[in-house]
Chain A
Amino acid sequence: MVNVNAVRRLQPRLRHVCCKSWRRFLACWRNATRWIHGESLARIVGLSLEERSSYGEEEQGDHPEPSGQVTVDPYGFERSEDFDYESYEELMSEYLVVLTRRSIKWSKLLKGKSKVQKNVKLKRYVRKGIPNEHRAAIWMAASGAQDQLDKNPGYYQSLLGADHDSKLMDTICTDLNRTFPDNIQFRKTSNSCLLKSLYNVLLAYGHHNPTVGYCQGMNFIAGYLLIITKDEEKSFWLMEALLGRILPDYFSPAMLGLKMDQEVLGELVRAKIPKMWRIMADHNVSWTLVVSRWFICLYIDVLPVETVLRIWDCLFYEGSKILFRVALTLIHHNEALIQQAQSLPDICQIFKQITHGPIVDNCHAFMQRIFFDPGSLSTSTLTKLRVTCRSRIIAEES
């Protein structure tokens, strides 16, 4: 049997994970081909081309895979011309093992359950990454979005049916084509175009929460939610969970929550990485200049897609504290580089630079780092700092 032989020849670590079930292996394989081209995958895991194609014929029918490299990632984002396929494949050969193992564990955990309970084990599972097939459901459950959806049937549709503010509609329209122009799902020419859904979710939210209305940055967030859930109503309720409960008031006209969290980050840097704080102070760099995008976009378009999704897993489960852990890790890890800065433009440039590279590409290792590198960060510390910073800002502005 080709099946048995194929599994036997897998890269040892992957074999260990997959050997229990051929069906499971096939599911993992199907998942993995979303990431890299089958040929590269076969090479990485140690399968011969024949074995791969025999699997391909029986599982996928006669849809030949395109030859060469996959120029679009699993979420529809086009890879840049200088995308480093070699490093990516090397990274993926490791990460596929993780993904496969996690996928099996999650299937077991969720088997026969219609609801998940928040507990220490689930938290640990979430930190290690929610498999894409369960991501939408776990985000919905952990954030309370599912409860809201269940309690308010038809509410989303009623928002869409209402009379809308024309200024709100105009502003959203201006940003539609400027949301993910590099994603094939956000192009007018795409078969399954998400632009109309993006418009609907943003319009519904703006109508639901007229104080916030629409703020730039929300387009990116709604876009990611649609990519993952593939469902407008779920995206709306996840948006509502984020803006209404998980994040402070980042998007309201005064953006007080955003200013507050930028200041809080400054205070945390001052306490944990004092040298860094001094450098920023010496060059007269305000935090808003370098980190406002980190907070407003929840790291979208700042860090690699997969890393962002792993951060969001924790964001929906644990709350906004995770955003500080990420920021502190980035700053902490690049201390030496930031110290070399000679001027304000230098610092701005370096803060852009530190969100790229191997450390953030390797999302699994990065997620382990963020819970270790910045040290302890208790909820009570964060709450206190937020209170202090908020009143400081209000005093300064009045």
Chain B
Amino acid sequence: MAGGSVSECKEYLFKVLVIGELGVGKTSIIKRYVHQLFSQHYRATIGVDFALKVINWDSKTLVRLQLWDIAGQERFGNMTRVYYKEAVGAFVVFDVTRGSTFEAVSKWKHDLDSKVKLANGNPIPSVLLANKCDQKKDSSNNTPLMDNFCKETGFLGWFETSAKDNINVDEAARFLVENILANDKGLPYEESNGERIKLDQETVTAESKSGCC
């Protein structure tokens, strides 16, 4: 910074999908991450809902995450191809207290990869969330198993999360965004899948000033 050579602030808009079986806690994770809230009283999500989270990634980077909360029932999946368009990252969520929701993870991952790809043809980065870990009954360590599962299924990694107790939600999001950014930087501008808006320093300063009043 001392050199004063940085004259540009980058702003990114990333569309991230949150998918998984019904009742695994997709809405809760999003509400926790975006509004720092948890409630036992969320209604089932119908169709799709979405929320926006702004992250001051570093002094030069602003990231706007558009989180798409997609209904978990399979038949809605037939309608949701349109929701997947232009997504650059995804969370696949399952509920650690219901084995069947983990069994469905591969199906969700496969569905994701078939519906959306990065411009270079690679699958979009995705992270697996083992949610409701506050209610986990057995304390056995299945880390090696899960690591292996992620490798085989093509997830970047996995996190045990609890939207209720605020465990690992921020960490998981940070991990995913890091990977999305790395993808974005690795690609020439034209091929980049994320919408990128370049602003010079002046514009940003003006914007933040007006934001103060």
- Which A residues lie at the B interface, using CB under 8 A? 170-171, 174-175, 178-182, 215-217, 219-220, 252-255, 258-259, 286, 288-289, 292-293, 296-297, 301, 345, 348
Q: How many Å from the CB of A341 to the closest CB on chain B?
A: 15
Determine which of B41, B72, B79, B83 lies in contact with A255 in the assembled complex, contact meaning CB atoms within 8 Å: B79
B78 and A175 within 8 A (CB): no
Any chain A CB within 8 A of the CB of B149?
no
A171 and B79 CA atoms in complex are apart in Å by 19
Interface centre among B23, B42, B47, B74 (most CB of A within 10 A): B47
Interface residues on B, range: 20 to 34
Write out the residue numbers on chain B whose beta carbons fall within 8 Å of the beta carbon of A252: 75
- 11 A-B pairs besides A253-B78, A255-B76, A292-B48 with CB distance below 8 A are A170-B100, A175-B23, A179-B43, A180-B43, A217-B46, A220-B46, A254-B78, A255-B78, A289-B82, A292-B47, A301-B46
Query: Could you tell me which residues of chain B, from 16 to 75, have a CB within 8 Å of some CB in chain A?
Result: 22-23, 40-44, 46-48, 50, 52, 66, 71-75
Write out the residue numbers on chain B whose beta carbons fall within 8 Å of the beta carbon of A292: 46-48, 79
**B27 — nearest CB in chain A belongs to which residue?**
A178
A179 and B45 CA atoms in complex are apart in Å by 10
**B41 — nearest CB in chain A belongs to which residue?**
A181
Write out the residue numbers on chain B whose beta carbons fall within 8 Å of the beta carbon of A345: 50, 52, 66
B73 and A215 within 8 A (CB): yes
Q: A293-B47, A345-B52 are in contact. Are A181 and B78 (CB under 8 A)?
A: no
**A213 — nearest CB in chain B belongs to which residue?**
B75
A296 and B48 CA atoms in complex are apart in Å by 12
Determine which of A182, A216, A219 lies in contact with B71 in the assembled complex, contact meaning CB atoms within 8 Å: A216
Write out the residue numbers on chain B whose beta carbons fall within 8 Å of the beta carbon of A296: 46-47
A170 and B95 CA atoms in complex are apart in Å by 14
- Which B residues lie at the A interface, using CB under 8 A? 22-23, 40-44, 46-48, 50, 52, 66, 71-76, 78-79, 82-83, 100
Q: How many Å from the CB of B101 to the closest CB on chain A?
A: 10
The 16 listed contacts between A and B (C-beta, < 8 Å) are A175-B44, A178-B44, A180-B43, A181-B41, A215-B75, A216-B71, A220-B43, A220-B46, A253-B75, A253-B78, A255-B75, A255-B79, A258-B79, A286-B82, A296-B46, A348-B50
A215 and B46 CA atoms in complex are apart in Å by 10
B46 and A216 within 8 A (CB): yes
Determine which of B22, B50, B79 lies in contact with A175 in the assembled complex, contact meaning CB atoms within 8 Å: B22
A348 and B66 CA atoms in complex are apart in Å by 12
A179 and B13 CA atoms in complex are apart in Å by 33
**B82 — nearest CB in chain A belongs to which residue?**
A286
Q: How many Å from the CB of A213 to the closest CB on chain B?
A: 9
Write out the residue numbers on chain A whose beta carbons fall within 8 Å of the beta carbon of B47: 288-289, 292-293, 296
**B95 — nearest CB in chain A belongs to which residue?**
A174
Q: How many Å from the CB of B113 to the closest CB on chain A?
A: 20
A92 and B56 CA atoms in complex are apart in Å by 47
B43 and A174 within 8 A (CB): no
A293 and B46 within 8 A (CB): yes
**A343 — nearest CB in chain B belongs to which residue?**
B13
Q: How many Å from the CB of A378 to the closest CB on chain B?
A: 28
B82 and A216 within 8 A (CB): no
A253 and B52 CA atoms in complex are apart in Å by 30
Q: How many Å from the CB of A109 to the closest CB on chain B?
A: 37
B83 and A219 within 8 A (CB): no
Write out the residue numbers on chain B whose beta carbons fall within 8 Å of the beta carbon of A180: 43
A171 and B40 CA atoms in complex are apart in Å by 18
**A291 — nearest CB in chain B belongs to which residue?**
B47
Write out the residue numbers on chain B whose beta carbons fall within 8 Å of the beta carbon of A181: 40-43
B79 and A288 within 8 A (CB): yes
**B45 — nearest CB in chain A belongs to which residue?**
A216
A216 and B50 within 8 A (CB): no
